[in-house]
Amino acid sequence: MGHFVSSLGQSVCSICLTTPSLSFVLRFSLCVPSSESRESEIIMAGTKEEDVKDPRIPKIASSIRVIPDFPKPGIMFQDITTLLLDTEAFKDTIDIFVERYKGKGISVVAGVEARGFIFGPPIALAIGAKFVPMRKPKKLPGKVISEEYSLEYGTDKIEMHVGAVEPGERAIIIDDLIATGGTLAAAIRLLERVGVTIAECACVIELPVLKGREKLGETPLFILVTSDAA
């Protein structure tokens, strides 16, 4: 038995179980046995007891495939297109986020390009919030405000429309995956510059080995599954 620290700073027990047919990890959560199709351990990483017991998580996790050496050698690409093909798993994914944020005073759902545009709009509609696209440079017409962030070699920017949000609004930031955390951190800074309060960042997948959540500062991060493949 071991311990790890959750996103809320809590110490959580982990128990490794092995049987002749499978091995998996329980971190006070429903865990999915490793499968040949995903080539990775995928476990749930909710932050509340009801999240941990959510029976929908294994279905969501098993619908995500890992593509080795894409888009370049050495990268294990987390492919959520297979999740989108599974109508039940896709609906469950949206429903979990909606259940978490509905009635919490969220007026802005900010989606990070590109796959944040898949999950953000249905969540925004369901909770009665507006959807704000956060895009790469020169993709939005009209006046924009931008925030720069670092890449492995060089820098990039994320932009949103001037006037898309108002000071005092409360937002969540949605993306499909957090890896190094640079884009989400830039989105946080951009929204905070114009007076928006960030309630939480939310992603379907986290790659903990890349330590992306460390770049988010005090902004909470909610995820559904984590993967060791990166």
pLDDT in tens, 55-72: 999 999 999 999 999 999
Q: Please pick, among 36, 50, 152, 218, the residue that the annotation labels catalytic.
A: 152
Domain spanning 90-227, CATH architecture: 3-Layer(aba) Sandwich (3.40)
Range in 34-43, 48-57, 82-91, 190-199 with the lowest mean pLDDT: 34-43
**pLDDT for 6 beyond 90:** no
Helix 87-101 and helix 116-127: axis angle, to 10°? Answer: 50
Annotate 71-127 with DSSP letters as a single string: SSTT-EEEETHHHHH-HHHHHHHHHHHHHHHTTS---EEEEETTTHHHHHHHHHHHH
Q: How far apart are the first and last CA of the chain?
A: 25
Active site residue 214: no
pLDDT at 21: 29
Q: Please pick, among 115, 147, 159, 206, the residue that the annotation labels catalytic.
A: 115
**What mean pLDDT comes out for the span 128-134?**
99
Active site residue 115: yes
pLDDT at 153: 83
Other Cβ atoms less than 10 A from the Cβ of 34: the count is: 16
Confidence of residue 99 (pLDDT cuts 50, 70, 90): very high
pLDDT at 28: 30
Distance CA 124, CA 62 (A): 25
- Residue intervals in the chain for CATH 3.40.50.2020: 90-227
Distance CA 83, CA 89 (A): 6
